[in-house]
Amino acid sequence: MDVRADAGVTWRAASLGLALALALMRAPAAAEGTKSFTPAQISAGAEIYARNCSPCHSPRMQDPESAADLRKFPRDQYQRFVNVIRRGQNQMPPWGDLFKPDELEALWAYVVAGER
């Protein structure tokens, strides 16, 4: 056992380093939902949403009665978002491959950006 006065400093520095390393490992996943989208992507997503999603999730994602509130969907879970759209979940039917990848990204852009 090290009884020097500065022995705790080394342990604290190592703990801080480990915490920082863990945070950096998680950063790419968090960045997945927070990337910047172009106004064109958001606009295209708004159109896709209005046509296909608003009947259940309500216009402008405001106060859906029976569907998930997409304003609260975790912004770091794009792949989960895509999976739910393609496979369905609970009361939501599966949309399969109806949407192209760029359309899914545009829809995600609209959900992440929120109604403006």
- Percent of the chain residues topping a pLDDT of 90: 54
Mean pLDDT of the chain: 78
- Are 68 and 58 in contact, with CB atoms under 8 Å apart? no
Map out the domains of the chain as residue ranges.
1-30, 39-113
pLDDT digits (tens, 9 = 90+) for 53-94: 999 999 888 877 789 899 999 999 999 999 999 999 998 999
Tokens for 112, please give them.
């992440």
Greatest distance between any 2 Cα atoms in the chain: 69
Q: Residue 13 is encoded by which pair of tokens? A: 């520095």
What is the C-alpha to C-alpha distance for residues 78 and 115, in angstroms, rounded to an integer? 18
Q: What is the pLDDT of residue 116?
A: 58
Q: How confident is the model at residue 7 (pLDDT cuts 50, 70, 90)?
A: low
Least confident of 8-12, 17-21, 46-50, 69-73: 17-21
Q: Which DSSP letter does residue 65 get?
A: S
CA dihedral defined by 98, 99, 100, 102, rounded to 10 degrees? 180
Topology (CATH) of 39-113: Cytochrome Bc1 Complex; Chain D, domain 2 (1.10.760)
